[in-house]
Structure formats: structure tokens, C-alpha cells
Amino acid sequence: MPDPTLARDLLTAESLTSGYNGVAAVTDVNLTVAAGEVLSVLGPNGAGKTTTLLALAGLLPAMSGRTTAMGEPVDYKRPYRMARRGMRFVPDDRGLFSVMTVREHLRLSRRRPDRAREEFVLDRFPALAEVQSRIVGLLSGGEQQMLAIAVALLAEPRVLMVDEMSLGLAPMVVEQMLPTIRDLARDEGIAVVLVEQHVELALAVSDRAIVLNHGRMVLEGDAKDLLADRDRLETAYFGGESL
């Protein structure tokens, strides 16, 4: 029997419906993300992007449909199991402790005393290496976001989901960080899901994308095709029909 952890599609959703208090916020979402691939989840405010990520991470139950991560069903009753198997979710508030230093975050997050892994991660975000003794509350937004992603990377994730990385960041910082994530996905075989408001920047580093609107998928395709067909993308983004 094949080892399910070697499944090429590290994340899948089939007709995923999920929401809050019995009311669906997303309906019939379908997606797959393979090792080394970057998928962007796009859409206006309230479209259901965060809800989709929470359901994929096992942090919110699916009301119906099928979700798998690392080849096994997503277990929302035991989300820590998902984390142990290699799922990391970076929330839009970054999930850091403002009175702790960068170094303390890095020490707490590494799976074992693995200096090499820490150096590898800091090499990818050199700006962080220079502020290791600073507390998070005194970091810039960009440095905080780098730390949130660095903390996730220390765990050697197989699936990495990043919710609105660019929230509050200057576009220049986003332009630097997104290619780093793209490279990490490819080099380490991580399946990456990005929720982004900077649509063009996100598509430029993604393999594929889905667009949600009012909780439904209204468009999906290869990132380069979507970038080339701006009219179709805008129609979907600003109120397209569901697929």
C-alpha cells in the first residue's frame, strides 16, 4: 500500500462547505496543491478566503465535502495532529508575542536544537538576523511578517498557508517577500497557499489561483493565464457568476 504521506497533492478540497454556527460562509470549494506548488486564494473582503484556510487547516469543521492534507483526511477535532504532520498556518494577525524577542521566538519554535535549520531560515530573511535581540513590539510590520513565516519554516512544513501576508505592509516589502516564499516552496517541496490582496504580485509568484466571491469559487486557472486575462479576473473579483 502506498505511503499516504508521499501523496503528490499535499492539500485537497472537494466540494468543501464550511462556515460558522451552521451557516455556510464558503460553498463547494475545490482545490489541490501539490508539493512545491503555490496556490493563491483571491477575492474581495468577506469572500471566504480565511474561512477556506481555516477549514483546510482543521481549525474550523467542514459542513460537507472532503478535505485531505498530506494524504489523510483533515481532522478538525485534532488540529494539533495536522501540525505534527507538517501543516503550518500563519494567520493575518501573525500570531506572535509582542514582548518576546525575535531570538526567543526562534528558540521556542525549532523542533529540536537545530542550529543549521535556524541559519537556513535566517539566510532567507537576512533582515531578521540583524534584529534578533529586539522584542516583536518594536519590529516593523515587514520584520514581524518575516518572523511569523520564519517561525513556521523552522518546523520544516510540508504545507504552509499564509493569510494576508501583506496586511499593513508597504508594497515594496511584499515584492521582496513573495519571491522568497516562491523559492522556498520549490526548493523544499512545500505546498503553499497564499491569501493575498495584491492580486498581480500574488499571481506573479503562483502556479495557480482560485477566486472566491460571496463564498463561492468564481474562477480558477493557471496564474499566468489569469494574469494575461485581466478582464476575466476583474469580472470574477468584482461579482462574477459562480463556476
* 18 makes contact with ligand ATP (CB under 6 A): no
CA distance 233 to 20: 28
* 240 makes contact with ligand ATP (CB under 6 A): no
Residue 161 Cβ vs ligand ATP, minimum distance, rounded to whole Å: 12
Residue 110 Cβ vs ligand ATP, minimum distance, rounded to whole Å: 30
Q: Which of 86, 111, 93 is nearest to 5 (CA)?
A: 86
Among 43, 58, 86, 240, binds ligand ATP (CB under 6 A): 43
Residue 171 Cβ vs ligand ATP, minimum distance, rounded to whole Å: 17
The β-bridge partners of 40 are 194, 209
8-state DSSP, 5: G
Among 51, 145, 166, 206, binds ligand ATP (CB under 6 A): 51
Q: Considering CB under 6 A, how many residues would be counted as binding ligand ATP? A: 10
Q: Which of 97, 90, 95 is nearest to 163 (CA)?
A: 90
When the beta carbons of 20 and 97 are compared against ligand ATP, the nearer one is: 20
Per CB under 6 A, which region of 38-46, 145-153, 185-193, 235-243 contacts ligand ATP? 38-46
Using DSSP, state whether 42 is helix, strand or coil. Answer: strand
* 45 makes contact with ligand ATP (CB under 6 A): yes
- The three state secondary structure string of 204-225 is HHCCEEEEEECCEEEEEEEHHH
8-state DSSP, 101: B
The angle subtended at Cα 20 by Cα 19 and Cα 21, nearest 5°, is 130
Among 20, 80, 97, 238, binds ligand ATP (CB under 6 A): 20
Per CB under 6 A, which region of 40-48, 103-111, 129-137, 171-179 contacts ligand ATP? 40-48
Residue with cell 466571491: 213
Which residues form the interface with ligand ATP (CB under 6 A)? Answer: 20, 25, 43, 45-51
